[in-house]
Every structure is written in C-alpha cells, then in structure tokens.
Amino acid sequence: MNLRYIDRLFEILMSPVGAVLLFLVVIIMVASFISERVNWVLLGSTLWITTFGSVRNKWFDITLWAPLQFLRVNTRQLSILCLLLLFFLLLIRLKWRPLSSGILGWLCFQLYWTGDILLASDYEKGVLGGITVILVFFVICVELGGCLTAEKVFPMLRTMLLTFVICFLGGLLVQFLINRGAMTPGGGRLQGTSDNPQSCGWSLSTCLLTLIFLWYSWEHKGVVAKVLLLGLSFFCFIFLLWTGSRTAWLMTIVAVAVFFRRRLGSLILGFIPIVFLAVGYLLLFSDGDVQSVVMSRSLTVDTRSTVWAGLWRAFMDSPFFGQIYSVGGENSYLTVAASMGIVGLSIMGIAFFCGMKNIFYVLKGYYLLDSQEKVLFDYVLTGLVSMAVCGMLDGFLLALLTIYAVFPWIYLTILNYLVRRVSELREEEYYLGNLELLGDDPHHVLEAFGKYPVQR
C-alpha cells in the first residue's frame, strides 16, 4: 500500500519544521484556555489551508512565495494536524446538541463514498478519507455545533469566517505582489494558490458570499470594518473574474439571486456599485490579462459533454452498484451514478431530502427569527443551493478534504442550530399564546413550565 500522505506527515513532524509546529501548538493551547476566540481563529485558518492544492506542470514556473509554497505542498497533512488540534481543544468545551437528519444523511453518504474508494483499491485515500470525514464531522458538527447558542453564534462565526476570508485573499494579494506569474501558469487564468482555476474560483465565490453575509449580519460595525469588507469584496470580485471559471461565475450568480431575493433595494445600492467599480478598474487600469480571460472565446468551448457521456455510459453498463470510480468527473451527480449506481444515488438523494426537510422547517418559522438570524438562514440557504446547482458542472461535492468538502458541513451545522432555534421560539410562542387561558403573568407562566423568555 502506498503511504505517501502518511510518510510525508512523519517527515514534517521529524524535521525542524516539526519543532516549530510543536512550539506553535503549545502557544495555541495556552491561548485557547485564555480565550475561546483562539479556537475560531484556528478553525478559520484551517479552512484557508484546505484551499491550497498541489500543482505539477514541468512547463511553467509554479513555485509560490516560500511560506505559501510550504502550505501548498503539505496542505493535506497540515489540515489533518489542525483538525486534530481543534478536536482536542474543543473537546474540553463539548456540549452535546441533537443532530439534524441533514447532517446524519450527509455523513452516511460521505462514508459510503470513502467505502467505494476502498473498493477501488486506493486504500490510503479510502482510509484517510474515512478518518477525515469523521474528524470533520466531530469538529464542525458536534463540537462547533455544540457551541452555537443565541448569545455566541454571531461572534463565533464572524471570527471564523473573517479569518478565512482575510487569510485567503491576503495570500492571493501577497503572491500577486511578489510573483504573479506563479498564480497564472502560462499567463492565462488565475489559479492563485489552488490547484486549478475552478478551485480558486469556487473559493472566491464562497468568500464573496461570506463577505455579503458579514456585511448584513454585523451590527454596529465601525468605519474600519466597513472599509475592510468593501475592499475585500472589490478584490474578491476582480480575482473571481480573472479565474475564467464558468462554474464559479454561475455559483456567484445563483448565490446573489438567492440571498438578495428579499433585498432588491440593497442589491441595487450595495452590490451592483462594487461590480461596476471592479469592471471599471479592469477596463481602465488592468494590463490586459484579466480582460483577455473574461473575453476569451475558449470560455464558450464545450469541455464537459464528452465526460458526461462517458459517465452516463458507465452508469448504464452497471446501473445498480456502479463501476467503482475513485475520481470525480465534471458532474457530481453523474459521477455518483457511474461510481456507486442507483444505490449511491439513493443515499445521496436521502441526504438531500433530509437537508431540504430541515430548510422547510426553518422557513415555516422564518417569521419568528430576528433580523440577524434571517440573514444567517439566507446565508446557509444560498450556500447550499449554489453548491447543489453547480454540482451539475463539477465533481466537488465528492471531495473529502478540500475547502468545498468542509463548507457543506458548516452550512448544515448552522442549519441545525437554526432548526433548534425555531423549535425554541415556537415553544415560547405556544406558551405565550395560552396566557389568556392560564390567566397569569407571562414570566410566571414561563417559569412554571421551566421556560424563560429569550433575549431578543
């Protein structure tokens, strides 16, 4: 069995870099006991590390700035080490919360997929994939989900997501200033610190959606915060255009349409000016690279139908259990059909049905949520819908340890919190609705039932 990932992990730990990492681990552990916010900064940094991807091309200079290149080469190993550290740090503060059917359904599908990889004789990837899925499940869904309460949810998410966005866009800007050629092998589309333009585009689309969420959910933000969010959004949009990724563009369009479905005025006054400023900058000040990518005729070339036809033929040859593929294609759903057949599609369908059930439950109680919680739900809904739609154009829904493998867990965990929140508010509404029949003071009635008014 080829143990390339495990061997590389031990090489890192036994090197001088391993001693530095051990020193950082000690500092993080001490800081974690002092402030819980350190855990969320570490989690946001872990999300950033998962965006890196190794690139092997003998024709182009693809070496990044030394610190970024180290993260790129060792992204899987460092991601696992960060998840293990988070697992033990958050275990101390563990508070068990009920898990939604959407989370459990997605867990079953991911484990079934790793089992399919094992059957394809890729034992290291299958075993490490299964361990990674369980580790991400515990860190995100159990431990992070257990910490989400009405008082802490927005400070926690703001710290985690802002750390991720600043690290990712900051890394791109630093590399752009030092050596932009390493970000665009061949002088074409931007792939940044990721392994291809599609991955970079997806990460940028996620960053842009996250920045929109932070803008609308961050109450009483100062001038510095406003300038920071607007500046990050501006560069994020430019980089997104530069990737030339049609999938990422479609994901952004779907995300904007879903998020602003109730905020048309805000879309016109806020998001559209940023788009015009970014496009104006490209037309007036850019040296032509980005324009050439955006206007390229190659973006209209059909690069998927042949792959789709091959996946469909594989499915038809073995419709029940598939043909045991271990590599995702240009369509997540067709890849599941070709790899796992009707059985895999059924498990995936059940997972999607459970998630939709949770979404509709929150929608029924949407009127009970306050303004911030409504923004939070729209963020989750936007993320899940855009990923489900763009899964028809890429195989990223089958990833095991990349940024697009972790964010579905984050969305489902936040959705699980909102399900609990709506349930609490409905119960409170029920007791308050019977006050006239009970004929008592609201606080006394709620106290008698062991319930207290939620601070809104």
CA-to-CA separations, 31 to 24, 140, 221, 422, in angstroms, rounded = 10, 20, 26, 34
Q: What is the pTM of this model?
A: 0.88
d(CA 296, CA 25): 46
pLDDT tens sequence across 268-292: 666 666 666 666 666 555 555 565 6
**Cα distance from N-terminal residue to C-terminal residue, the chain:** 56
Q: What is the pLDDT of residue 326?
A: 47
Average pLDDT, the chain: 82
Q: What is the pLDDT of residue 455?
A: 45
Higher pLDDT, 353 or 329: 353
Higher pLDDT, 65 or 264: 65
CA-to-CA separations, 167 to 52, 53, 174, in angstroms, rounded = 12, 15, 10
pLDDT tens sequence across 350-384: 999 999 999 999 999 998 998 899 999 999 999 99
Q: What is the pLDDT of residue 375?
A: 93
CA-to-CA separations, 97 to 77, 142, 144, 413, 434, in angstroms, rounded = 30, 7, 10, 11, 28
Band (60; pLDDT cuts 50, 70, 90): very low
Q: For the chain, give every domain's residue range.
A: 4-448
Q: What is the pLDDT of residue 1?
A: 45
Band (420; pLDDT cuts 50, 70, 90): very high
Band (54; pLDDT cuts 50, 70, 90): low
65 membership: H or E segment, kind and range: none
